[in-house]
């Protein structure tokens, strides 16, 4: 049998599909393997190029396979899909991965270390808890609104209302509702404490990372943005320029050009929404505190004038 040159693995929970090509592109193997058979199979062949889709558990498997001496490349699933030649099934998916990883123009995802992956999971957990907290606040306000009690919007206003206003309307509400509101208030306090615990863990990881300290030197970038960026990027050398990183974040204009006519629209929003949101908030904070004589003052104010945004421009000139 010819020597295996490229392997494509379709990841799953229990049964994996593996496809292998030789140097000329001839298919040698396309078979399924149990989870505990993958490492054993790959350890018995010569080092080669292994391609996988960047999905759940892909970074773990990439690290384990690299320990065997293989070169592992992860690809976004949307870039692999065009190489599927027939209806979707595990065999066709593995063959498409094996075909896509050989393309010289393919874009790859950097393999994350265990520390980067763990830090990113903390950020994802924090984002989910904040979403749950917002939903709980909205349910509290909606429940009280059903009985004619209007509560100001915002978690700080709600906290103040519980201290100062809840006692004055408590006697007017059904006891069943009062007990329910108190139960939701307790859950809200627990969620806020959990967010604070996650913030402490993220702060500790950010303070011990040299990469995070370097990124925090950028105006508008704080502990959350720096740690999330370092954890999400993996290897910064995968980007040839800052412009390419901005495109990866979805912070460049989306383009609809044809026939030599260029049409640039709003930002594409194709990247990581969590990172993009933090960068946008950081930029707004820089603009809000921008004063004459500060670095980038002339450049920022010229951009604001072209945008025709008086509120930001007025705050920037104060």
Measured on CA atoms in the order 97, 54, 62, 213, is the torsion positive or negative?
Answer: positive
Same domain for 191 and 261, yes or no, is: no
Cα angle: 125, vertex 127, 133; to 5 degrees: 100
Same domain for 135 and 90, yes or no, is: no
Asked if residue 228 is part of any domain, the answer here is no
pLDDT at 53 (0 to 100): 92
Q: How many helices (H) and strands (E) does the chain have?
A: 14, 7
What are the CA-CA distances from residue 231 to residues 96, 107, 202, 221, 238 (Å)? 29, 19, 11, 14, 14
Residue 93 reports pLDDT greater than 50: yes
* pLDDT one-digit tens code per residue, 16-74: 999 999 888 888 989 999 999 999 999 999 999 999 999 888 999 999 999 999 999 99
Same domain for 56 and 120, yes or no, is: no
Same domain for 161 and 130, yes or no, is: yes
Same domain for 186 and 119, yes or no, is: yes
Alpha-carbon distance of 50 to 282, in angstroms, equals 39
Q: Which residues pair with 255 in a beta bridge?
A: 264
Asked if residue 122 is part of any domain, the answer here is yes
Q: How many residues does the chain have?
A: 318
Same domain for 286 and 315, yes or no, is: yes
pLDDT band at 312 (very low <50, low <70, confident <90, very high): very low
Asked if residue 196 is part of any domain, the answer here is yes
Same domain for 19 and 63, yes or no, is: yes
Which structure tokens are listed for 104? 């010289």
pLDDT band at 314 (very low <50, low <70, confident <90, very high): low
pLDDT at 2 (0 to 100): 67
Per DSSP, the three-state class of 289 is: coil
* pLDDT one-digit tens code per residue, 140-190: 899 888 888 888 888 898 988 888 888 888 888 888 988 998 999 999 999
Q: Which residues pair with 109 in a beta bridge?
A: 74
Alpha-carbon distance of 96 to 80, in angstroms, equals 6
Asked if residue 287 is part of any domain, the answer here is yes
Same domain for 134 and 153, yes or no, is: yes
166 alpha carbon, distance to own chain's centre: 39
Same domain for 283 and 267, yes or no, is: no
Contact between residue 4 and residue 29 where contact means Cβ atoms under 8 Å apart: yes
Of 156, 272, 295, the C-alpha closest to 220 is: 295
Asked if residue 160 is part of any domain, the answer here is yes
Asked if residue 106 is part of any domain, the answer here is no
pTM: 0.80
Neighbours of 314 (CB within 10 A): 10
Which structure tokens are listed for 43? 């350890």
Residue 310 reports pLDDT greater than 80: no
> At which of 57, 76, 100 does a domain end?
100
Same domain for 209 and 120, yes or no, is: yes
Neighbours of 112 (CB within 10 A): 23
Asked if residue 220 is part of any domain, the answer here is no
Same domain for 190 and 140, yes or no, is: yes
> At which of 65, 100, 135 does a domain end?
100
Asked if residue 223 is part of any domain, the answer here is no
Q: Give residue 122's domain range.
A: 114-213
Q: What is the pLDDT averaged over residues 78-92?
A: 89
Same domain for 285 and 266, yes or no, is: no
**Range with lowest mean pLDDT among 73-82, 172-181, 272-281, 284-293:** 284-293
Q: Total structural domains in the chain?
A: 4
């Amino acid at each position: 049998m010819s020597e295996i040159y490229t392997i494509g693995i379709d990841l799953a929970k229990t049964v994996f599909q593996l496809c292998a090509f030789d140097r000329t592109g001839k298919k040698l193997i396309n078979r399924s393997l149990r989870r505990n058979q993958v490492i054993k199979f790959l350890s018995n062949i010569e080092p080669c190029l292994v391609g996988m889709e960047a999905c759940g558990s892909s970074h773990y498997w990439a690290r384990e396979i690299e320990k065997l001496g293989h070169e592992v490349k992860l690809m976004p699933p949307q870039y692999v899909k065009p190489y599927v030649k027939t209806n979707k099934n595990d065999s066709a998916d593995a063959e498409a991965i094996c075909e896509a990883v050989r393309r010289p123009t393919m874009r790859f995802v950097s393999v994350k270390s265990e520390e980067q992956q763990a830090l990113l999971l903390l950020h994802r957990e924090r984002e989910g808890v904040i979403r749950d907290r917002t939903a709980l606040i909205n349910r509290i306000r909606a429940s009280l609104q059903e009985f004619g009690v209007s509560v100001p919007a915002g978690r700080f206003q709600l906290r103040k209302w519980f201290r100062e206003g809840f006692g004055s309307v408590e006697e007017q509400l059904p006891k069943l509702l009062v007990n329910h509101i108190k139960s939701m208030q307790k859950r809200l306090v627990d969620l806020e404490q959990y967010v604070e615990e996650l913030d402490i863990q993220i702060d500790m990881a950010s303070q011990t990372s040299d990469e995070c300290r370097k990124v925090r030197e950028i105006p508008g970038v704080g502990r959350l943005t720096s740690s999330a960026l370092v954890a999400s990027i993996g290897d910064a050398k995968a980007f040839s320029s800052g412009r390419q990183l901005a495109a990866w974040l979805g912070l460049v204009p989306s383009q609809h050009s044809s026939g030599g006519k260029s049409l640039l629209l709003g930002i594409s929003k194709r990247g990581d929404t969590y990172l993009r949101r933090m960068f946008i908030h950081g930029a707004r904070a820089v603009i809000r505190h921008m004063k004459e004589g500060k670095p980038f003052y002339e450049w920022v104010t010229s951009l604001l004038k072209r945008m025709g945004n008086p509120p930001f421009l007025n705050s920037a000139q104060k």
